[in-house]
Each structure stands twice: as C-alpha cells, then as structure tokens.
Structure 1
Amino acid sequence: MVSNCPTKSPAGASNDNLELEEVISKGSLDFDEWVSLVSDIEKIYPYAAHMARSCTMEKVVEVFEQAVSAATYSVGMWVDYCSFGMSAFEDASDIRRLFKRAISFVGKDYLCHTLWDKYIHFEFSQQQWISLAHIYIQTLKFPTKKLHQYYDSFRKLLTFLEEGMTSLDNSPKESQSEPFDGEIPMTTCCNDDKTYSITKDLVDSPVGLTSSIALKKYRIIGEQLYHNACELYSKISSFEANIQRYYFDVRPLDSNQLQNWHDYLDFIELQGDFDWAVKLYERCLIVCANYPDYWTRYADFMEAKGGREIANYSLDRATKVYLKSTNDVDAARVVLIDGIKTLPHNKLLLEIPLLHVHYLQGLMDLKV
C-alpha cells in the first residue's frame, strides 16, 4: 500500500500539517489506509513520545481522566491508568484507590483478568497480605477468563496459611471463642465489608482458635463463591467464545457475531443483576456502536428497569456521536423517536433533555 502521509521532517511541521489536512480533507481513505497513515505519522513525529514523557504528572492524570470518562468500561484503559499510577504515585493508598475504582467499573468484565493480575502484583509488592487475601476472594465472585487459575491461587494461599498455623492442640484455648462448625450465609459472601473483616481476622489474629475459625470461614466463602461463579461461567462461556472482536471497528460485523451479542444480552437480562447488565451493554456498544438496534435495546431495557437517566444518556451518545452522520440520519431518528415513545406523555419535557427535542426537530426538518 502506498502511503498518503507527508514525509517531511518534524522541523517542517507547519507544512506537514497542511499536507496532512489536504490528505484527510479528500475523504477517500479506507480503513487500511487510515491505519497506514497513523503508522507513518508516528514514524515522522518521534518527538511525540518525548513530549508525553516530559509532561507533568498532573497533565498525564488529566489525560487519563478524560480517557476513562470517555471509555469508562474499557479494561485496557484502566490497566494503562493503573500501570501509570503504580509508577507515578508516591502514596500506595492513592494507587489502591485507583485500582478499586477501576474494579468498580470493569470488575464484571469477562476479560478483566489483566486488571486483577496488575492489582495482585501491586499488593504483593507492598506485602499487604490482608489486601492480597481479600483480592483472591474478590476474583472468585464473578466468571472471568482466569477464574479457574484464580481458584488455584486461592487454594495455594489456603495451603500456605494452613501450613503456617500451629495445631490447635498445641495452642492456648481462648475462653471467649466457640468452635465454628457451620455454613456462611451467601449474604456474607457478597458483602465486601464482612469478607474483609474475616480476612483481617485470618491474617491479624494470633495463632489459636480465632485464627482457625477465620481460616475455615475464609475457605467456605471462597468455595461458595467459586461454585456460584463456575455455574455462570459454564453458561456464558459459549457467548464469550463466539465474540471475535473486542474493540470498535468501522468494518461491519457478520450476522453470527451480531446475533451472539443479542443472545448474550437476552441471557444477562434474565439474571436479575442490573449492574452486570449495564456493564455488558456498555461492553457490547464498544463493538456494536454503529448498529442502532443495540442502542434502542439498551435504552428500552434501562427504561423498563427504572434507569431513565442511563437511557437518556445512551440516546444522547447515539445521536451526538455514533449515528450523527448524514447517512445515519434515518437510524438516529428511529433511535430518538423510539426512546421518546417509552416515556409517559405528561413527563416528556421533564425527562428528555432539551438537546434531544431540538435534535429531533432538526431531523424532521432534514426530511421535509
């Protein structure tokens, strides 16, 4: 492929920019030519990397904040942000807060193992055993690609703790403690505060009955969470296996991939986990952003579940960003009208942002 990119040195940046604008303004580049153009620009302007390195930390943080605001549910974006935080932030608590924030957004993504691995590496480097033990429990809460590997790590940690624990027969009895022989309610397993408390008892308690009880509770919680996650894993693995693209691309998806996303969303909607549904829809829309039916489906589902603000926001993105070109006017109009129809008539002006009303009017004017 012959490159359309100007080939002057960075010293002639002004002329290069004019040539670049001329190439882009022709509007004749296909996808592969765009890829080639970007690659050539990166070669011509090697000082861009130097500029990135010379930025202040505050500026880099600002850029990352803009990035995660635009792509909140991108695992890769959060991994990059956390990697930067590990190398740039002096206070470990700031890094830990960033990881927790990232997990809150993408912790239910099937491919979030890259973030968990980074988080585990960080806590291990800090020798924060309570946090590390708690992370191993958290990795078992949801079916991810490395669920079984995380369970193996959990088992190894249990073995390590058991080997390091003195036999109860040789430990002083604690008069206020009763032997634990029962099950942990699943409400406890899903409660971060309670599981963290049990983990803290496990690590902090002196060798004896208390630490033994904490270890049993820790084991039971992990086993129950893993069992539940495995059941979900077996149900979603076929959907995940059929996903061939994980990123936005202007090239169309084939019918099998489109149907797989619909089937996956059908399944998730029946699980009763609103947070999981939101995250899967957002993940789907990264790949299927150019397909109006996924936007309308998302808005309809959110509206039906009481998430009107999320529904309006999805319509806003659909009509302002992804479906705004002239060729997509009809599609955008359908998205907007269908979204408005789902709202009670007497609350229309209160619930739909004024931007949507103006946009609808503009679309109608274009069709006259």
Structure 2
Amino acid sequence: MTEVNRGGNGSTAVDPEAPVGPSLRSVSEPQAAEGEESGKPEFHRLWKAVTDNPFDFTSWTELLQYCEQENHVTASRQALEAFLARYPLCYGYWKKFADLERRAGFNSRAEEVCVQGLRAIPLSVDLWIHYINLLLGTLDMNLPESAHRIRSVFEDALAGAGLDFHSDRLWDLYVEWEKEHGNMRKAAAILDRVLRVPTQLYNTHYDKFKEHLNSHEPKAVLSPEEYQELRTLCRQSQKVEQAEQTQEDKAERPPGEEEPEELMQKIREEVLLHRDKIYQYNEDEVRKRWQYEESIKRPYFHVKSLDRIQLRAWHSYLDWEIAQLNQDTKNSSQGDGSKRIPKDDHRVRVLFERCLIACALYEEFWTRYIQYVEPQSVDEARALYRRACEIHLPHKPNIHMHWATFEERHGDSTEARRVLQVLEKNVPGLAVVRLRRAALERRAGDINQSEALLQEAVAESKEKPTMHAFYSIKLARLLQKLGRDLSKARKVLQEALEISPDNDKLHLNLLELEVSGDPWASAEAVQECVTRGLAAPLNPHSKILLSQRGLQFAEDYGNSIQSVLSMYEGHQKLLQEFGGTKREAENGDEDPEKLSKSEDASAADVSAQEATTMPHVPITTPPPPVMGTDMSAGYGAYNNWYQQSQYGSYGYPNTWNYTQGYYPSS
C-alpha cells in the first residue's frame, strides 16, 4: 500500500496529481447503494436530497446517520465516498469509513481509507493515531518488517503533524511504543526531539525525559557519541577518582563491570544541564504562541461560518509567525551570535495548513497562502489553487479567476482557458467570466475565438434583454475597435435594439459608433440615431444626452449652419419639454458622474435579476457574488478591473459646453 509521502522540507507532501479522497463515484450514480437499499423509501429520499443539493451539509449527515444505523455496508461506503469528496476535511468521517471497512473484514481497504484521508488532512493528529492503531491491531508484530513499518508510519506522522501545537498525544504514543519494544535509546531520542517543539504540553515531555533518564543507565538511553563525550568529560572532572585514573587510563573497565553510580549521576546532570537550555528556549516559544492559540476556538473544519474575531485571530497568528521567520532570517544574515534553534519556513507552512482546515471555505486564506508560496515554488502554488478550486471552493469565482490569471501569467494559456471553462460550467450566468474568457482569447491572439464567445453570449441571452444588450455592446466594441468592421458592429447594435428598444445604452453606443466613423458619410446616420432615440421610450435624461451629442456632432462636422441651428432648436425644445431640468447639462455644469452610471454597474443589476442562478447553496458554500459586486482587490475585482472612467456611461465624455457662446438662451 502507498504511504503518505514526505516532501523535501520534512512536511507531508500531497501529490498534486493524486486524488485527495478515495476513488470516488459521482453523487448522481448510486447504483450499488440503491441496489442494496431497494424498497427502502427513506434511503431514496435522503439520497435524492444530497443529489439535488450537494452543499446541504445537514442532508449529508442525515444520510450517513441513516446508513450507519441500518448497518448497510455498501450504502454506507458509497455515501461516505461521495460525502468525503465534497468535505474531505471531516476527519471523523474518515475514521468512521476505516472502521466500517475493518468491521466488514476488509483490513487493506481500511488502511487505504486512512491513507487517503491523511492525504487530505496530513495535520490530523487524530487520524494519524487512528491509522497507527489500525496497523497495530492488524499487523503481525512477530514479523520484523511489521515493526519497521510502524516506525516508518510514526515518522511520517511526525513529519506531517509533529509541529502542530496539539500534537502531544502523537509524540507520547511513539515514545511508549518504543519503550514497549525495549528500545530505550530510541524512546529517549524521540523525547529529545519533542523538547525542541513548542506544544501545549511541552513541560510534560521534559518531565518524561528526566524520568526516563533517571530510570536507566545513561549508556542505555543516550547516543553512543554523546555518552562517550560526557563520560570523558565527567571522569576528568571528578577529583575523587584521581587515584584511579592512572590505572584506568591504561586499561578500560573490564566488560560487564558497571560504571560508578557517582559517575552516572554526574553524566545525568550534564545531560540535563544541556537540555535545560533547550527547554527554556522552547518554553519561551510556547509563551509567545500561547495567546494566539487560546484565541482559536475552532481549530477543526465545520461548515458553519466563523465570526470576524476568529478570522482576525488566524490572520494575526499568521502575521506573527511570518514576522518571526523574517526576524530569524534577518538575524542569521547579520551573524547573530545567539545560539538559537535553526528555523525554516516549515512552521509557517504548518500554521497555514492548520488555518486552512478551519477556514477552508474562505478565499482570503487560500489567496494569502498562495501569495506566500508562489515566490518559492510555482508548482506548490498551482497545487494550492487546485485544492482550493476543485475541492473546497468549486463555486467561488474570485479564486478561480485568480487561478486563470496565475496560469496565463506563467505562460499556460491552455490551463487558464480550462479553469475559466470549468468555472463557467459550475457557475453559469456570470458575465465577468465570459468576458474573461473573451479577453484571454484576445490576448492569446485569437480574435475570432474572442468574437465567437461574445456572439455565443449574445445568442444565449436573448431571453434576458438587458444582458443581451450588455453583451451586444461588448461585441460591437470588439468588432469596431479590433475587427475594424463598423458595418458588422452596427448590425449587432441594431439587432439588439429590436429586442430592447428602450435600452438607453444601446442607443448611446450606436450613436457613438456612427460619430466615430467618417464624418462626411456619418451625418445622416447620426441624425437617424438621434431621431430613433428621441422616438423610443427612453428616460428624459438619456434623450437629452442623445440630443446633446447630436448637436455636438453637428457643431463639429455639420455641412451647413442651417443643420446646426436645426439641431440646436430641437435640443432647446427637448429641454423645455422636460421642464428645463437638464439645462445645466447642456451648459456642461453638471458633474458627469452624477448624470449616469457605468454600463458595468448596470450589468450588476442585470446579473442580480436575470443571470442564471445556482441551486440553493447553504452557508457552507455561499453563492458566488454577481458581477459588479465587490469581489476583493486585484485582478479578480471586476468593477475595478473593467470600469473605464474615460468612457463615461456609454463610450465618450460629457464635457462639451462651448455651444453656450454661439446661441442665445431659450
């Protein structure tokens, strides 16, 4: 059976290509379970509940409880497999799964379940102990290879979870197991190791080390090198043995003859004198961490949300641990002469992993861990993205888009494309995702594919007029600015106006498209746009903008003063018709930001009202934010990323005001 592998830094490494859980079947395919449970409507009801809403944690626990009570092995196995694929950090259910297989007589399956669980949560002290006890109960300990295997698993356990603040039980179990097998020196070595680890019960380990040392001869518990060094040192310092030294210098003590008790006690004192320094330093490390550890009230995974105090506690702890590492690194680079225990970033990584057990449903902690890891290893950062997006946060768009950006930044556009495609499949209806896909293709040099994605979005949103208008504007801009095809862009907007004649942004963008063309050939088209807009059921503000822009075009490019005056008179009548409330707009005195909102802000309302919504998702995995909401800082924040203030609300600024000097006030 494949054990959990350890990485180069001593941590338990999770193969990014290996499955996190068992070979899991789909939730929607319960053939084996249904076969065993045929004729039991309660099982079918519970299974349907988790199939319809896989994020309903309560339905899952009801299903698992029912299977356990009814003692149906096949149904329980499939339910546990499906559940742990969704919630792999629930270590208690991995233990239940292993016990299920063992009771059914499948010891190898029980071991494999434990291994799969430890791949998902290598920091679980409880699961490591459960796995070790399983091996102790199933292996033939009379075989020499069995002891070797147990010891190997213990070492894997310490590499994976030995630095956890609450790992004391694991260390104690290892020590006691070595003692039971008569390996006093190995037991002492383990106790010696844990003296350097800040744990909750750090002081009890030192007490056990002293008791172990006093209960046996130093030669039986110390390494040969340390024992010989201390023996030589202590014998030289014993004045009472000066008379004996002449004889003993010439010949060693005969085999089997014991060392003097006084010498052994002196050796013990020297051992403890050295360990006292280590203990005091470790005690100081524990004291520094104690307040952070006490502030963590829920170190295990649960679907219930954590309060702000708990989230701040994790951030504060991470801040402190990283600062400790940076300070230690700085001291080392400056030649700090203090004799400190060497540090690497293993402890920082362990704390991040502990944090991600309790905060697995929070993007902010995944993002922070990735930002910490990426400068050291792109592959490790990629593995973290995969864990976050494919297991814990399959419906959180922000971190998926960060992942896609990460892959594109590191030259893998194919993977970035796949990530966005999966996200759009999981969370349909988010405009920001479709726009990201189109932008990715454009940056990759495939304008045709970018256009095709927007055309597909236009076609699929015909039943949602405002989203249809939004995508049509994006497509028209692409065709106009990159495709240099004004005719095609005009057709897109005109077709959109047939579906949404009351959409002011379509009218304004079509007008801007005509204005941006050849001024000698555009006069008639501009006039047609203005006339169409004024006849449409638009709000007064939009009609004034259309009229004002038409007047501006006539002033800049009109062929005759009569055409300019005609546009001006029409504009004045429009202002009078609406009570003159927008006179300031004509004069350019009103703040453009107060006149309109961006098209993307409008799209936020559309997404909230019309975008395809997900099935009900409980608090365990909140529905992803709609486009336009605050999606955190960085490239993932759609508003910050796409909002273009220079375009105003529909593609051009509202700053013209010099017509006031040409015409009298009406």
Q: TM-score range by the shorter chain?
A: 0.7 to 0.9
Note closer, same or farther for the CA distance 1:333–1:213 as it changes in structure 2 (3 Å cut).
farther
Note closer, same or farther for the CA distance 1:161–1:361 as it changes in structure 2 (3 Å cut).
same
| Aligned residue number for residue 384 of structure 2 | 314
Amino acid at match of 2:287: S
| Aligned residue number for residue 153 of structure 2 | 98
2:346 pairs with 1:275: yes
Distance in structure 1 (CA, Å) of the matches to 2:128 and 2:413? 30
Provide the TM-score with structure 1 as the length reference.
0.75
1:319 is displaced (CA, Å) by 1.5
1:223 is displaced (CA, Å) by 1.9
Amino acid at match of 2:259: V
Amino acid at match of 1:105: G
Q: What is the DSSP-based 3-state SS (H/G/I as helix, E as strand, rest coil) of the residue aligned with 1:252?
A: coil
| Aligned residue number for residue 250 of structure 1 | 303
User: Contact conserved, 1:108 with 1:279, CA < 8 A, in 2?
Assistant: yes
Distance in structure 2 (CA, Å) of the matches to 1:205 and 1:295? 62
1:180-219 correspondence to structure 2 within 5 Å: 207=259, 215-216=268-269, 218-219=271-272
1:360 is displaced (CA, Å) by 3.4
Note closer, same or farther for the CA distance 1:11–1:309 as it changes in structure 2 (3 Å cut).
closer
Note closer, same or farther for the CA distance 1:113–1:354 as it changes in structure 2 (3 Å cut).
farther
| Aligned residue number for residue 127 of structure 1 | 182
Note closer, same or farther for the CA distance 1:361–1:59 as it changes in structure 2 (3 Å cut).
closer
Distance in structure 1 (CA, Å) of the matches to 2:47 and 2:380? 37
- The Cα offsets for residues 68-106 of structure 1, whole Å up to 9 and x where unpaired, read as 112222222111111112222222221111101110111
User: Contact conserved, 2:218 with 2:268, CA < 8 A, in 1?
Assistant: no
In the alignment, structure 2 segments of 5+ residues that lack a partner are 1-33, 77-98, 221-228, 238-255, 326-343, 425-431, 436-666
Distance in structure 2 (CA, Å) of the matches to 1:237 and 1:335? 35
Per mean C-alpha deviation after superposition, the further-off stretch among 289-298 and 64-73 is 64-73
Distance in structure 2 (CA, Å) of the matches to 1:93 and 1:123? 11
User: Contact conserved, 2:370 with 2:381, CA < 8 A, in 1?
Assistant: yes
1:354 is displaced (CA, Å) by 5.1
Q: What is the DSSP-based 3-state SS (H/G/I as helix, E as strand, rest coil) of the residue aligned with 2:318?
A: helix
1:323 is displaced (CA, Å) by 1.5
| Aligned residue number for residue 330 of structure 1 | 398
Q: What percentage of aligned pairs have identical amino acids?
A: 25
| Aligned residue number for residue 107 of structure 1 | 162
Q: What is the DSSP-based 3-state SS (H/G/I as helix, E as strand, rest coil) of the residue aligned with 2:324?
A: coil
Note closer, same or farther for the CA distance 1:315–1:181 as it changes in structure 2 (3 Å cut).
farther
| Aligned residue number for residue 359 of structure 1 | 419
Note closer, same or farther for the CA distance 1:360–1:222 as it changes in structure 2 (3 Å cut).
farther
Distance in structure 2 (CA, Å) of the matches to 1:363 and 1:31? 22
Per mean C-alpha deviation after superposition, the further-off stretch among 219-228 and 74-83 is 219-228
| Aligned residue number for residue 241 of structure 1 | 294
Distance in structure 1 (CA, Å) of the matches to 2:305 and 2:155? 35
User: Contact conserved, 2:47 with 2:63, CA < 8 A, in 1?
Assistant: no
Note closer, same or farther for the CA distance 1:213–1:330 as it changes in structure 2 (3 Å cut).
same
| Aligned residue number for residue 154 of structure 1 | 209
1:118 is displaced (CA, Å) by 1.7
1:293 is displaced (CA, Å) by 0.9
| Aligned residue number for residue 44 of structure 1 | 70
Note closer, same or farther for the CA distance 1:353–1:88 as it changes in structure 2 (3 Å cut).
farther
User: Contact conserved, 1:86 with 1:122, CA < 8 A, in 2?
Assistant: no
Q: What is the DSSP-based 3-state SS (H/G/I as helix, E as strand, rest coil) of the residue aligned with 2:215?
A: helix
| Aligned residue number for residue 357 of structure 2 | 286
Amino acid at match of 2:280: H
Note closer, same or farther for the CA distance 1:359–1:335 as it changes in structure 2 (3 Å cut).
closer
User: Contact conserved, 2:179 with 2:187, CA < 8 A, in 1?
Assistant: yes
| Aligned residue number for residue 142 of structure 1 | 197
1:13 to 31, 37, 50: 37
2:130 to 46, 61, 80: 80
1:124 is displaced (CA, Å) by 2.3
| Aligned residue number for residue 173 of structure 2 | 118
Distance in structure 2 (CA, Å) of the matches to 1:207 and 1:57? 49
User: Contact conserved, 2:407 with 2:415, CA < 8 A, in 1?
Assistant: no
Distance in structure 2 (CA, Å) of the matches to 1:356 and 1:181? 70
User: Contact conserved, 1:292 with 1:332, CA < 8 A, in 2?
Assistant: no
User: Contact conserved, 1:243 with 1:260, CA < 8 A, in 2?
Assistant: yes
Note closer, same or farther for the CA distance 1:163–1:318 as it changes in structure 2 (3 Å cut).
closer
Note closer, same or farther for the CA distance 1:124–1:141 as it changes in structure 2 (3 Å cut).
same
| Aligned residue number for residue 27 of structure 1 | 53
Note closer, same or farther for the CA distance 1:153–1:51 as it changes in structure 2 (3 Å cut).
closer
1:247 is displaced (CA, Å) by 1.6
Radius of gyration: which is bigger? 2
User: Contact conserved, 1:319 with 1:336, CA < 8 A, in 2?
Assistant: no
Amino acid at match of 1:242: S
User: Contact conserved, 2:400 with 2:419, CA < 8 A, in 1?
Assistant: no
Distance in structure 2 (CA, Å) of the matches to 1:321 and 1:248? 14
- The Cα offsets for residues 270-312 of structure 1, whole Å up to 9 and x where unpaired, read as 23231111111111101111111111110111123x1332211
Q: What is the DSSP-based 3-state SS (H/G/I as helix, E as strand, rest coil) of the residue aligned with 1:73?
A: coil
Note closer, same or farther for the CA distance 1:156–1:181 as it changes in structure 2 (3 Å cut).
farther
User: Contact conserved, 2:218 with 2:267, CA < 8 A, in 1?
Assistant: no
Note closer, same or farther for the CA distance 1:336–1:145 as it changes in structure 2 (3 Å cut).
farther
1:238 is displaced (CA, Å) by 0.8
| Aligned residue number for residue 189 of structure 1 | none
User: Contact conserved, 2:235 with 2:263, CA < 8 A, in 1?
Assistant: no
- The Cα offsets for residues 42-73 of structure 1, whole Å up to 9 and x where unpaired, read as 11126566653233433322222212112222
- The Cα offsets for residues 192-240 of structure 1, whole Å up to 9 and x where unpaired, read as xxxxxxxxxxxx9963699667645532442222112111101111111
Structure showing the higher helix proportion among its residues: 1
1:11 is displaced (CA, Å) by 9.6
Aligned length in residues: 319
Distance in structure 2 (CA, Å) of the matches to 1:88 and 1:221? 41
Q: What is the DSSP-based 3-state SS (H/G/I as helix, E as strand, rest coil) of the residue aligned with 1:124?
A: helix
